[in-house]
Amino acid sequence: MTSLSDDIEVYELYSRGEMDEETARALLGEKIDRVAEERDAFEAAADRDTSRFLSE
């Protein structure tokens, strides 16, 4: 089992293209899919127009 900081480092190497997907999957297993899903959800939330959520 790896620590969270190790997982983050592995994913960062993978996302920068410094590690291939096969190696990243061997180290992270299904975590790699969850991280990608969370990243996509975060990016989608960041792109939302929040002005409609504000009330006067």
What is the Cα–Cα distance from 40 to 42, expressed in whole angstroms? 5
Residues 36-52 pLDDT 10s: 888 888 888 888 877 77
pLDDT at 54: 66
Structural domain including 26 reads: 4-47
In-domain check, residue 13: yes
How many domains does the chain contain in total?
A: 1
pLDDT at 1: 63
In-domain check, residue 54: no
Q: What DSSP assignment string belongs to 12-29?
A: HHHHTTSS-HHHHHHHHT
Inter-helix orientation angle 4-15/21-28, to 10°:
170
